[in-house]
Each structure stands twice: as structure tokens, then as C-alpha cells.
Amino acid sequence: MKTVCFYFQVHQPWRLKTYRFFNIGKDHNYLDDLTNRAIMQKIARECYLPMNSLLLKLIKENKGAFRVSFSLTGTVVEQFKLYAPEVLDSFRELIATGCVELLCETYSHSLAALSSKEDFTEQVKAHQAMLKKEFGVKPKAFRNTELIYSDEIGAMVGELGFKTILAEGAKHVLGWKSPDYVYASASDQSLRVLLRNYKLSDDIAFRFSNQGWDEYPLTADKYAQWVSDAEGEVVNLFMDYETFGEHQKATTGIFDFMKALPKALLNAGVKFATVSETAAEHQPVAVIHCPHVMSWADEERDITAWLGNDLQNEAFAKIYELKDKVRSLKSDDFNYVWNFMQTSDHFYYMATKWLSDGDVHSYFNPYGSSYEAFINYMNVLSDFQIEVEKALEAKKSRKKSK
Amino acid sequence: MRVLMFGWEFPPHIAGGLGTACYGMTRGLARNGVDVTFVMPHASGDEDQRFVDIVNASDVETVFGNVDSDSEDIIEKMSFIHIDSNLVPYLSPEDYETYHDEFVKTGEKRWETRDVWSQRYTFSGKYGANLLEEIARYAIVAAQVAKDHAGEFDVIHAHDWLTYFAGIAAKRVSGKPLVVHMHATEFDRSGENINTQTYAIERAGMHAADRVIAVSNLTRNIIINRYGVPAERVVAVHNAVRFTDKGEAWPERGVEDKVVTFLGRITFQKGPDYFVEAAAKVLKRCPNVRFVMAGSGDMMNHVIRRVARLGIADRFHFTGFLRGADVDKMFQLSDVFVMPSVSEPFGIAPLEAMRSNVPVIISKQSGVAEVLDYAVKVDYWDVDAMADAIYGLVNYPALSKMFAEKGLEEVISLKWNDAAAKIKRVYEDAINECNK
């Protein structure tokens, strides 16, 4: 029986405030509280709350036949706790149904996998601890930031004890192969790889409300037909959770579509499963080789959206230069800043590739240009560097006086 | 003696050195007993306004803002005339065209914008379709002004090429001698790729004038060699600098590191590239220095990319365009000020830095280098020498102390009264020659 695997990504970054040179050394509050709060509450109102309650209803109606997976970043959970605790409660309610699987990822939606094994492990451990504390969950499957994947990353994830990892069904990696089967990682063959069916995923996430699309309007029955027509054993539908109500507004009918979809798919003889269930139920058909890093972003499906120009490379090098110092401080306050500074969105704002993907890049972007984003990030980072140095000095002198 | 002066905005509405210089100069002239009728463009944007707006001396306060309290002397000696025009200093034909196109495209009756130097342009149907047309229109109105005020002035003084046609027109109508003031040449602004229209106007203005005042010997040489103006008609009068005692509290320093500052438009003319390369060299030797580039301009993104590529972005900061109090604050937070200009007719910024007790490094290719002894002078392209000088001023307190103290004395001695006295002599020469 064909399996549909829904996975939704839930993430919000901590946005930095306008931080000038004159603030360096004096002002250690880096966040734009007003913007962060306003955006979080808007998305909670338009997306998280209505969609969570819809999913809860669908799960109950279908008595366990409808199953989905989520990944929630550490930074978004921090923001739920501060600005929208009711969203956190509704997620707990969903998880309590037993039909929802939570995946593990990097705590701050960071690019740590591209920095070093040590940085990556730290981020994964932090996320595991958060899942345990907030939801009482021990995750078995992993998704890396923006589905960034390579054989090397697969090896690290396998070593950390995960059984499954998600990746993009990128054409340049798959070649003639289909994403609609379960694969095994080349570097660790006990690790299952689920590949996103980007055509069917993007039909919902990007094209749903596009009136210029020849398949517009998309109905649940038509979509169910496409899924059941697809050759292969699984269809992996991976997308941002903000698709529902935010990227596709409620007025587009996206909620009605999702309301009708489970029934339509079940009627078409397709079943639902979470990420780990999907990986366990199907035999891997082949090994997937991915020597170069890929992601689910942009036309190129590579990492140039985050590390594609000199500005991004410089900011990335400078933040990870600090790692040993921050680690040796063992301070929650410093770790908090260290975490939100690693978030990939900061690097995304510095991207200079604006052509076909400009719309997505500019979504929720607080900066006028990539250069502004860079200057602001580096100013904040400079102050953080000074604070770290000061704290290290203080620690040293405390040790001496002991 | 009475002068009809075609000048530019006064503080606090200033775009750069030009407005500041006009202000200091007219004060100095007033002190030297010269009556000034000051004509300046002023975009009203209002369709029904008359072309010329005579501002009473009692209204001058609003023009001056609150810059200082002791302006009585100048009010007695001055009258103001506003000509309704959207000309602003430092405008290039390309800029004007860009904004005019935008105005036409939006189809609005009136349209305002701010450009990189934060000047306000107003567009509406009554202004010229391109910069040259607007300059010509300004000249026609200027001729009318000269006619209306016939017999009320002995000499005409025009600042910067945008007003040269106005000066020539006034001279033709009144028969009085014309003095034009070169604050910058097209070669300073654009290097060798000059705008030939701008060059032609500059050249026409200087050849029509009885005397040309250059802000430095550097500029004087360019005028003689590249514009073919007879040497005996060109006089160098260095700008001075005027400080108001603001009595502000010194801002608190956020960083302990030494701060090395570049302040100015980030354009080819100002040599920002050389500052970046020197910064990288200094940071290799002593990491406890921070570099700040204050300002904005068409080369800013290029400079940011270069800084990132050199891997010094955590030590090299950008502030964007600064105004008013933030400029003073920036000087006060600096330990070294660098002006690496490729070509600078004069350059007032280092004087402001010295006034804040900051030692300065200036390029030999700047006019201000001619009047300063207590400034480190390097060739703009000599990045090693620049890095060396920065390193010395940052690491040897005796050196920076000497430059700061002597520099302050030196800069205070540069008075507009003295510069104005020289300008007055230029007027006298021009009048005598004219009467011969």
C-alpha cells in the first residue's frame, strides 16, 4: 500500500534590532522584541492555531489513520513560550494523540553541520534536551536545517543514533531514480533516507493559489489522484508549516483543501504514516550517494543561499571562531545569544542571489539590503565578542583569587 | 564694498563642505566690512510661488536655524534672496536626470526625493527637464535679480559651477566684475572620465570671470593646466574653519580599542579603498584597533564586500550616513582620523577632527595639506605608509599627543576673517581692473 508522509517545518528566527556602531560596548540587548513579538503573534493567529486545531480534528475524525510529523526549532519554541504559550499547548495536545511524530534537528535552525562535527553535535544535543523537557519526547528521526544533506552529514547523524534522515529529492543527485522510495545512506547503510517529492510538495506550498497555473484551482480529489498515480511506494510531502495561512492565506481556501485531503487520499487507497513509520515499513531500494552538500532551497538545491558570497562566508567564519570561548564559559546567558546568532536566517538575509527566488528570500526579511543585514549582524557579533572576552577575563581572575 | 553672491544653503541645511564654506565666508566678509546680498536656490514645490523670494533680514533667523547666537553682525551686513529652483550642491547631470525621470514616471504633480547625500530635491513641472535647462532657467532669473538690484552691488561672486551661468548673466546685465569660486573641479569628482558638459560650464565660467578663486594651490594648478585660465587671474584662498562652542558632554566610549575613522562620502574621490587596505595591514600587526567608515555613497557595497573578503569585518564597522550631532560624536570617539582622498580640492573634515583633539592622517593630494603642519601626510596610494602612520599614532602615545595638541592650536588659527580679507583683496583687484 502506498504511503504518504507529511512533515511540517516550524521555525522562526530571533530577529536582530538595528544595532549601530555606537551601541557596541554599551548595549547588550540585541533583539527586536517588538518585531519578534508582532510576527510571532500574527503567525500564531493566522497559521499555527487554526492549522493545529484543524489537524487535531482530522486526527480524531480518522481515528489514527491520519498521521503527520513535525519539526520545531529551539528558537521557535522559545518564542512560543514568551509570546504565544497557547500554541505550545496545542502542539502538546497534538502529540498526545499518538499520531504525531516530532523530529530532531539543530536547536537554532543553524548551519552547524557545515562548520564542524563538534558544533553540529552540540546543536543536536541541545535540541534533544529541549524536546525531552518540553514534550517528553525522544526523537528517532532527524531533519537537518533546510534539508541540508551530504554523505558526511549522514554519517554524523547515524553516529548520533538516528535511524532516519530527511533530504531533498534533488534531480542532480537522483538522476533517473525516483524520490518515491526509501533509500539507505551511502555512508551509513543502517540510516534510512526519505526524499522529498518536490513536485507534489510544491504544488501545495507554492502553486496552490497561483491563478496562472494550468492546474488551478487545485482540489483534494485531483491531488489525491496525482498521489495515487505516482509510481513508487511512498510520497514524501515536506513543507514549511507557515504554508497554511501565511504563505497561502486562509482566503485561498488552503484550510478547506487540507480539511478534505485526508478523506480523499484514504479513499484513493493511500495510507498515512509518520517519518519513522514510513522508513520502517518499506525496504530501502538502493543506496543514495551524495558527496556534495544539497538542500531544499532555490532552483539550485544547494547551500549558496546561506554561504554563497563573501559577506556570508565572513560572518560564518567569525561566529564559529568564538565556539571554544563560548563553550568554556558554560553560561546559559552566553549560550542563549550564541544559539540565536547561529540561526541560518541571518545568513539568508545576506544573500545576493535575488533573481528567481527573490520572493522567498524577501519574505519576513527585516533588512533593506544584504549589505545592511551584514553590517547589522557584524555589529552585534562585535559586541558579543567583547562580552565573551570580558567574561573570560573575569573567570580567569576569579580562578586566580581562589 | 557690496557683493552680489550666488551661493548655497546655510546651516543647518547643509550637504557638505560647500554650505559650510559659504556660511563661514560671508561671516568673515561681514567682519571685513563687506555687504553681502546672498542669492540661493530654494525649491518651494508650490506652483503659485513667485520665482524670486526676498527674505528680510529679520527672517534670516529661520534660515540659520539655531546654529549660534552671535549672528547680529552678519544680519546687518547681509540680505537674502531666494530664487525658486530645485538646484542643490553636488548635483550631477546624471543624478538630475534619474530623479526627473522618476518624477515623469510617477506622473505626480510634485515629487520629492532624497539622494545618497541626503539632499532634498523637489520636482514639478515648473523646473527644468534636465539639469542644464534648470541652470539656464536659474541664470535668466539671476539676470532679473541683477537688474532689480542694479547699483546696489560692486562685484558678483559665484560659487560652484551650477551658478556660473547665473554669474555670467548678472555680469552682462550689470557690467560689474565677476569672481567665480572653484570649490572642486570636475577632475576631482570624476577622475579622468569627466562629464564634458560640466567641464564646459566650469571652463566658460572661469574664462568669463575677472578673477577665479581656487580653494588650494592644488586646485589652482588644475585650473591653469586643464582649463587654460591665465595664471595671473587665478588666486588661491584656502578655506578656514569656524567652530561653535557646543559645550556638549563627551560621549561615553563603548569600546576600549583604539578607533580609526574615515568620514565622508564613500566615493571614488575619497579613496575609501586605500583605507580598507591599510586597515587590513594594521590589524595584522595589532588586533586591538577598530576601524570605522562613516558615510554612504556609490562605492559602499564594494567596500563592504572587500572588508568581508579580507576577513576583518568584526574589526571594521560601517555607520551609514551620519548627520549633525552624530558626526561630532564620531569625531569625539576617534583616536585617529584618516582622509585618504585621491583628489580633494580642500577637505574640511580633518580640520573638524583636529578640533576634537584627534590626530589626522591626510593624503598629499588634498588642498588642506597645504595649510597644515601637524598632520601626517601620505600619498593616497601608499597603503604601507598609511598603515605605518596609523600604527604609530595608535601605539605611541607621545606622538598622538603631540599631533593632537599642536593640531588643535593650528586649526584654531585658521580663521575665516583672514581668508575673507584675502577674498576682499581679490574683489578690489577685480573692480580696479574693471574700472580701468
A332-354: per-residue pLDDT in tens? 999 999 999 999 999 999 988 76
A299, pLDDT greater than 90: no
Helix (H) or strand (E) holding B93: helix B93-106
Distant-in-sequence, close-in-space partners of A292: CB < 8 Å, separation ≥ 6 = A150, A302
Mutation pick from A346, A376, A378 vs chain B, by most beta carbons of B within 10 Å, is A378
Distant-in-sequence, close-in-space partners of B231: CB < 8 Å, separation ≥ 6 = B224
Q: What is the largest CA-CA distance in chain B?
A: 66
pLDDT, residue B105, reads 75
Nearest chain B Cα to A317, which residue?
B311
Helix (H) or strand (E) holding B24: helix B17-31
- The secondary structure of A338-386 as a DSSP string is HHHHHBHHHHHTT----TTTHHHHHTT---SSHHHHHHHHHHHHHHHHH
Q: Which of A24, A313, A314 sits opposite B255 (nearest CB)?
A: A24
CA distance A252 to A209: 6
Pairing of β B110-114 and β B120-124: antiparallel
Q: Which of A23, A25, A385 sits opposite B314 (nearest CB)?
A: A385
Asked if the C-beta of A341 comes within 8 angstroms of chain B's C-beta atoms, the answer is no
Q: Which of B251, B255, B313 sits opposite A386 (nearest CB)?
A: B255
Nearest chain B Cα to A309, which residue?
B305
Asked if the C-beta of A375 comes within 8 angstroms of chain B's C-beta atoms, the answer is yes
User: Min CA distance, B281 vs chain A (Å)?
Assistant: 18
Between chains, do B304 and A374 touch, taking CB under 8 Å as contact? yes
Each of the 436 residues of chain B gets a pLDDT tens digit; together they read 899 998 876 655 555 667 778 888 888 888 888 888 888 787 654 434 444 555 544 344 333 333 344 455 555 666 777 777 777 776 777 777 777 777 777 766 666 665 534 455 565 556 677 788 888 888 888 888 888 888 889 999 999 888 999 999 999 999 999 999 999 899 988 888 888 989 999 999 999 999 999 999 999 999 999 999 999 999 999 988 877 665 566 778 888 899 999 998 898 889 999 999 999 999 999 999 999 999 988 899 999 999 999 999 999 999 988 877 888 899 999 999 999 999 899 988 899 899 889 999 999 999 999 999 999 999 999 999 999 999 999 999 999 999 999 999 999 888 888 999 999 999 999 999 888 7
Q: Are B256 and B394 in contact (CB under 8 A)?
A: no
Distant-in-sequence, close-in-space partners of A334: CB < 8 Å, separation ≥ 6 = A326, A387, A388, A391
Asked if the C-beta of A300 comes within 8 angstroms of chain B's C-beta atoms, the answer is no
A271 CB neighbour count, 10 Å cutoff: 16
Please identify which residue in the block is written with the cell numbers 583672514. B418
A146 assigned to active site: yes
pLDDT, residue B10, reads 61
Tell me the angle at which helices B272-285 and B300-310 cross, rounded to the nearest 10 degrees: 20
Q: Which of A21, A27, A371 sits opposite B292 (nearest CB)?
A: A21
Distant-in-sequence, close-in-space partners of A300: CB < 8 Å, separation ≥ 6 = none
pLDDT, residue B142, reads 86
Please identify which residue in the block is written with the cell numbers 550666488. B6
Between residues B27 and A327, the one the model is more confident about: A327
Q: Which residues of B touch A367 (CB under 8 A)?
A: none
Q: Which residues of B touch A21 (CB under 8 A)?
A: 292, 317-319
List residues bridging with B361 in a β-sheet. Answer: B338, B376
Sheet strands (E) in A228-301: 234-240, 244-245, 248-249, 271-272, 286-288
Nearest chain B Cα to A24, which residue?
B254
Find the catalytic residue in A122, A146, A242, A246.
A146
Distant-in-sequence, close-in-space partners of B217: CB < 8 Å, separation ≥ 6 = B236, B367, B370
- pLDDT band with cut points at 50, 70 and 90 for residue A69: very high
pTM: 0.83
In the Cβ-directed half-sphere of B358, how many Cα atoms lie within 13 Å? 28
Q: Are A199 and A300 in contact (CB under 8 A)?
A: no
Q: Minimum mean pLDDT among A2-16, A359-373, A381-395: which range?
A: A359-373
Residues A229-242, mean pLDDT to the nearest whole number: 95
Between chains, do A382 and B317 touch, taking CB under 8 Å as contact? yes
User: Min CA distance, B1 vs chain A (Å)?
Assistant: 48
A94-152: per-residue pLDDT in tens? 999 999 999 999 999 999 999 999 999 999 999 999 999 999 999 999 999 999 999 99
**DSSP code of B248?**
P
CA distance A343 to A348: 9
| Listed residue (A282, A388, A375) closest to A329, CA to CA | A388
Backbone angles phi, psi at B45, to 5 degrees: 75, -5
Q: Minimum mean pLDDT among A287-301, A357-371, B123-137, B375-389: which range?
A: A357-371
Chain A and chain B share a number of CB contacts under 8 A equal to: 66
Between chains, do A25 and B255 touch, taking CB under 8 Å as contact? yes
Residue type at position B286: C
Between chains, do A21 and B329 touch, taking CB under 8 Å as contact? no
Cβ-based interface (< 8 Å): residues of B facing A: 251-256, 290, 292, 300-301, 304-305, 307-309, 311, 313-315, 317-320, 326, 329, 333
Long-range CB contacts for residues B359-363, cutoff 8 Å, separation at least 24: B359/B335, B359/B393, B359/B399, B359/B400, B359/B403, B359/B404, B359/B407, B360/B336, B360/B403, B360/B407, B361/B336, B361/B337, B361/B386, B361/B389, B361/B390, B361/B393, B362/B338, B363/B271, B363/B339
Nearest chain B Cα to A382, which residue?
B314
Asked if the C-beta of A374 comes within 8 angstroms of chain B's C-beta atoms, the answer is yes
Q: Strand order in A183-185's β-sheet?
A: A141-142, A164-168, A192-196, A183-185, A286-288
| Listed residue (B290, B286, B256) closest to A389, CA to CA | B256
Between chains, do B314 and A381 touch, taking CB under 8 Å as contact? yes
Q: Where are the domains of chain A?
A: 3-288, 305-401
| Listed residue (A137, A51, A44) closest to A92, CA to CA | A137
Between chains, do B305 and A382 touch, taking CB under 8 Å as contact? no
Residues A195-206, mean pLDDT to the nearest whole number: 95
CATH architecture of A3-288: Alpha-Beta Barrel (3.20)
User: Min CA distance, A374 vs chain B (Å)?
Assistant: 9
Between chains, do B313 and A314 touch, taking CB under 8 Å as contact? yes
Helix (H) or strand (E) holding B222: helix B217-227
Q: Which of A310, A381, A382 sits opposite B309 (nearest CB)?
A: A310
B352-to-A120, A281, B251 alpha-carbon distances in Å:
50, 75, 16
CA distance A170 to B202: 61
Asked if the C-beta of A26 comes within 8 angstroms of chain B's C-beta atoms, the answer is yes
Q: Which residues of A touch B304 (CB under 8 A)?
A: 311, 371, 374-375
Q: Which residues of A283-315 are buried (b: 16+ CB within 10 A; e: fewer)?
A: ebeeebebeebbbbbbeebbbbbbbbbbbbbbb
CA distance B112 to B125: 13
